[in-house]
Amino acid sequence: VDSNLRFGDTSAQNEFGRVLQGLVRADCVIQAVDIGGLRAGADVRRPGREGKQGLFMLADGSGGELFENYNNLTAAMSKMLERTSVTYVLAFQAEDLKLDGEFHKLKVKLEGGPKGARLVHRPGYFAPRPYVELSPAERKLSAASQLYGEPGGELEVATLAVSFEVASQPAYVPSLIEVDGADLLKGSENGQVTAEIFAYAIAANGEVRDYYNQILGIDIDKAGPALRQKGLKLWSQFEVPPGEYMARVLVRNSVTGTSGVAVAPFRVTDGSLAEPTLLAPLFPEPAGQWLNVRGQRVEESQHDYPFTVQGQAFEPSVKPVLAVGQSAAVLLSGYGLGDQVEIRGELLTPAGEPAGRVFLNLGERRLDSDSGLAQWAATLSVGDMDPGDYVLLVTATEPESSETYSSSLTVSVMK
């Protein structure tokens, strides 16, 4: 007797079980449609029966349903779409959950439902496992899902992207990332901390136009007090064509798995069209506060350090802190803006609602004849308002045409 024919191939069954486990871990539900059609009662041919059983196991094991006995594929697909067209989300918080990766079954009952109603739900969930136990593939999948999620996380991360050299294609877009040192150092061992950094430039249509990633191994003793008192600041770059973009950044501690996500919009104009643009406001801060790291792409690049004013380099703050009633130095710059341009600022809530007044005192306009970059050294102060995070929106208006050009930066206000 061939046991494989009678009972099935054990190795294939084990592999199938791993597939189902992976589907459940990924919260992926399979809806299966049997295209064999309605069979006569005497039709017990083995291939058709085994195929239907396989479809049933795949659907049922992942929390889905098998649609069978249809001679019309269109009708079967329509029924499947109808059954899955309306879903409900039922959420709960598991208490005292052990991080052991074990599977926990779920049982859901429907009370008072209509006659003939059938409840279909996911069979269960897997408890998370410690980050160090995850495979490289699982870590990559986790990073991908986090990167496209909401900003925030266990690590405080901020990012800034500013387009320069717009006359060249693709444009040079310096990218700055700040990571809070105290957050990054939590759980570090043996005087070492390793940060994984993933950064993507995503176009308005969702397409990834450029990206970089880097792993930084940091000796805490050699890094000095800057890492402990302030944190890590990475300077890297994107190179992208004209368009509207969102910079998305994920920073993760490779030992503990703690992570943070930051996003920042930026715009690259078409230099060949001489389209005016206003760059994000830049707030110089004292040098030496951060552990500064030049990214690998910067080391391989031929571009000069971009953050300068009147030939003097400065270090911009990615997320400036503004004190109520105090003035802060700010550099405003842009391409194609006229001599008489009017510039104003306002503070908005993260939801885009007006939040407070901004007072700008502009200095003399200076123009770089080689690059066409105009700069205004200015001071900025904010009125009395509640502490918190806001969006600083700066708008330049051309008096003759009334055309407006805007840029923004996330800032923190304190009293």
Q: What does the pLDDT look like over 335-367, one tens digit per residue?
A: 888 788 899 999 999 888 999 889 999 988 898
What per-residue confidence (pLDDT) applies to 217? 92
| 40 pLDDT more than 50 | yes
Higher pLDDT, 276 or 1: 276
- Give bridge partners of residue 210 from the DSSP assignment: 201
Question: Rounded to the nearest 5°, which phi and psi values hold at 198?
Answer: -125, 125
What per-residue confidence (pLDDT) applies to 100? 84
Structure tokens at 280: 């994000």
For the chain, give the mean pLDDT. 86
What per-residue confidence (pLDDT) applies to 34? 85
What is the per-residue pLDDT across 286-332, written as a single tens digit (0 to 9) for each? 988 999 999 999 988 888 888 988 888 999 999 999 999 899 999 99
Residues comprising the chain, all counted? 415
Model confidence at 47, in pLDDT bands (50, 70, 90)?
A: very low
Residue 412 and residue 388 in contact, taking contact as beta carbons nearer than 8 Å: yes
What per-residue confidence (pLDDT) applies to 39? 62
Q: What percent of the chain has pLDDT over 70?
A: 93
What per-residue confidence (pLDDT) applies to 139? 78
What is the per-residue pLDDT across 377-406, written as a single tens digit (0 to 9) for each? 999 999 888 999 999 999 999 888 889 999
What per-residue confidence (pLDDT) applies to 231? 94
Question: Rounded to the nearest 5°, which phi and psi values hold at 210?
Answer: -165, 160
Helix (H, G, I), strand (E, B) or coil at 75: helix
What is the sign of the dihedral through the CA atoms of 245, 247, 248 and 254? Answer: positive
| DSSP per-residue letters across 219-278 | EHHHH-HHHHHTEEEEEEEEEE-SEEEEEEEEEEETTT--EEEEEEEEEE--GGGT--EE
Higher pLDDT, 41 or 135: 135
| 84 pLDDT more than 50 | yes
What per-residue confidence (pLDDT) applies to 295? 92
Question: Rounded to the nearest 5°, which phi and psi values hold at 183?
Answer: -65, -45
Residue range 56-80: mean pLDDT, rounded: 86
Model confidence at 4, in pLDDT bands (50, 70, 90)?
A: low
For Cα atoms 345, 346, 352, give the angle at the middle one, nearest 5 degrees.
135
Residue range 18-30: mean pLDDT, rounded: 79
Q: What percent of the chain has pLDDT over 90?
A: 40
- Give bridge partners of residue 215 from the DSSP assignment: 196
Model confidence at 8, in pLDDT bands (50, 70, 90)?
A: low
Question: Of the ranges 111-120, 132-141, 316-325, 399-408, which one carries the lowest mean pLDDT score?
Answer: 132-141
- Distances from the Cα of 139 to the Cαs of 117, 252, 253, 255, in angstroms? 40, 10, 12, 11
Spatial CB neighbours of 5, under 8 Å, sequence gap ≥ 6: none
Helix axes 10-25, 46-62, angle to 10 degrees: 30
